[in-house]
Amino acid sequence: MNLETLRDKPLFQMTGEEFIFLQNRLNSEVPIKTLEPEKGKKYVYGMRGIAKLFDCSISSANRLKKSGKIDEAIIQDGRKIIVDSELALELMKASK
Protein backbone atom coordinates (compact mmCIF):
# COMPACT_ATOMS: atom_id res chain seq x y z
CA MET A 1 0.00 0.00 0.00
CA ASN A 2 1.20 3.47 -0.87
CA LEU A 3 1.37 5.70 2.20
CA GLU A 4 0.91 8.99 0.31
CA THR A 5 -2.27 7.89 -1.46
CA LEU A 6 -3.70 6.64 1.83
CA ARG A 7 -2.97 9.96 3.52
CA ASP A 8 -4.91 11.79 0.82
CA LYS A 9 -7.83 9.34 0.79
CA PRO A 10 -10.87 10.36 2.88
CA LEU A 11 -11.41 8.21 5.95
CA PHE A 12 -14.92 7.11 4.98
CA GLN A 13 -13.58 5.63 1.72
CA MET A 14 -10.88 3.51 3.41
CA THR A 15 -11.24 -0.17 4.08
CA GLY A 16 -10.55 -1.43 7.57
CA GLU A 17 -7.23 -2.88 6.44
CA GLU A 18 -6.12 0.44 4.92
CA PHE A 19 -7.10 2.37 8.04
CA ILE A 20 -5.25 0.01 10.39
CA PHE A 21 -2.17 0.05 8.14
CA LEU A 22 -2.17 3.86 8.06
CA GLN A 23 -2.70 4.15 11.79
CA ASN A 24 0.08 1.68 12.64
CA ARG A 25 2.44 3.32 10.17
CA LEU A 26 1.82 6.85 11.45
CA ASN A 27 2.02 5.81 15.13
CA SER A 28 5.41 4.20 14.55
CA GLU A 29 6.75 7.38 12.89
CA VAL A 30 5.69 9.86 15.57
CA PRO A 31 7.12 9.29 19.05
CA ILE A 32 4.64 9.97 21.82
CA LYS A 33 5.86 12.46 24.39
CA THR A 34 4.62 12.16 27.92
CA LEU A 35 4.66 15.05 30.32
CA GLU A 36 6.27 13.70 33.45
CA PRO A 37 7.33 15.84 36.37
CA GLU A 38 11.06 15.97 37.02
CA LYS A 39 12.38 13.70 39.73
CA GLY A 40 12.89 15.40 43.06
CA LYS A 41 10.61 18.34 42.35
CA LYS A 42 7.44 18.88 44.36
CA TYR A 43 4.32 20.02 42.56
CA VAL A 44 0.91 21.21 43.71
CA TYR A 45 -2.12 21.16 41.46
CA GLY A 46 -4.90 23.68 40.99
CA MET A 47 -6.01 26.66 43.02
CA ARG A 48 -6.58 24.44 46.03
CA GLY A 49 -2.93 23.33 45.84
CA ILE A 50 -1.75 26.94 45.77
CA ALA A 51 -4.01 27.71 48.73
CA LYS A 52 -2.58 24.81 50.74
CA LEU A 53 0.99 25.73 49.80
CA PHE A 54 0.64 29.31 51.05
CA ASP A 55 -1.87 28.43 53.80
CA CYS A 56 -4.50 30.86 52.56
CA SER A 57 -8.02 30.81 51.15
CA ILE A 58 -8.77 29.87 47.56
CA SER A 59 -9.77 33.45 46.77
CA SER A 60 -6.44 34.70 48.15
CA ALA A 61 -4.64 32.05 46.09
CA ASN A 62 -6.50 33.29 43.02
CA ARG A 63 -5.41 36.89 43.73
CA LEU A 64 -1.83 35.70 44.22
CA LYS A 65 -1.86 33.88 40.89
CA LYS A 66 -3.33 36.89 39.09
CA SER A 67 -0.74 39.21 40.66
CA GLY A 68 1.99 37.54 38.60
CA LYS A 69 4.38 37.05 41.51
CA ILE A 70 4.62 33.30 40.98
CA ASP A 71 4.15 33.16 37.19
CA GLU A 72 7.54 31.50 36.61
CA ALA A 73 6.50 28.57 38.81
CA ILE A 74 3.14 28.00 37.09
CA ILE A 75 2.47 25.72 34.15
CA GLN A 76 -1.09 26.12 32.87
CA ASP A 77 -2.90 24.36 30.06
CA GLY A 78 -6.52 25.45 29.90
CA ARG A 79 -7.93 24.92 33.37
CA LYS A 80 -5.17 22.58 34.52
CA ILE A 81 -2.68 24.33 36.79
CA ILE A 82 0.62 22.79 37.94
CA VAL A 83 2.86 24.74 40.31
CA ASP A 84 6.47 23.99 41.24
CA SER A 85 6.12 24.51 44.99
CA GLU A 86 9.80 25.17 45.77
CA LEU A 87 10.13 27.77 43.02
CA ALA A 88 6.85 29.43 44.02
CA LEU A 89 8.02 29.77 47.62
CA GLU A 90 11.37 31.23 46.48
CA LEU A 91 9.60 33.73 44.21
CA MET A 92 7.31 34.84 47.04
CA LYS A 93 10.30 35.24 49.34
CA ALA A 94 12.11 37.34 46.72
CA SER A 95 9.09 39.54 46.04
CA LYS A 96 8.88 40.81 49.63
Amino acid found at 74: I
pLDDT digit string, tens, across residues 10-49: 888 889 888 888 888 777 665 555 555 566 678 999 999 9
Strands 80-84 and 74-77: antiparallel
List Cα–Cα distances, 46 to 21, 69, 70, 77, 81, in angstroms: 41, 16, 14, 11, 5
Pairing of strands 80-84, 43-45: antiparallel
On whether the CB atoms of residues 11 and 19 are closer than 8 A, the answer is: yes
Question: How confident is the model at residue 39, as a pLDDT?
Answer: 66
Predicted TM-score (pTM) above 0.75? no
Gyration radius (Cα) of the chain, Å: 22
